[in-house]
Amino acid sequence: TGTVTIASTTLDPAAAFADYTTKLRHSKPDVRVDTAGAKFCGYSSQKLTGAFLGPSGAVDFADRLTHIWTNTNKYLVVTHLEGPADAPGFDAAKTALMQDFAVVIP
């Protein structure tokens, strides 16, 4: 499954990313996470990949976190993908969903 979450934040990019990762580790104590910076048109962004143990077995996941600022607010945008470990098509879905995306601020 894949989801996109857009949440207002008062944190700077590093703190927002750290807060997200801390919450992830607390919600899934057995999680294994690899982090990589991702360049993105003047916005701070990271890619997280890893696995955790779900009720039906191992689950792979990928997250694209992007900190988007405007003149009035800051937002943490997270694209999250997960599926059973070694699921056919997961790598193709990860490649598609973790790409850069358009940001339009009216």
Series of mean pLDDT values for 10-residue runs along the chain (106 residues): 90 95 91 87 88 92 93 93 92 86 73
Q: What is the pLDDT of residue 101?
A: 76
Q: What is the pLDDT of residues 51-63, one digit of tens each?
A: 999 888 999 999 9
Give the residue from 51, 57, 56, 55 showing the smallest Cα distance to 32: 51
- pLDDT computed for residue 14 by the predictor: 93
Residue of 32, 44, 21 lying closest to 85 (CA atoms):
32
CA pair distance 80, 48, nearest whole angstrom: 9
Locate 102 and state its tokens.
């358009």
Q: What pLDDT score does 106 carry?
A: 66
CA distance 82 to 92: 12
Could you tell me the pTM of the whole model? 0.85
Q: Helix count (H) and strand count (E) of the chain? A: 2, 5
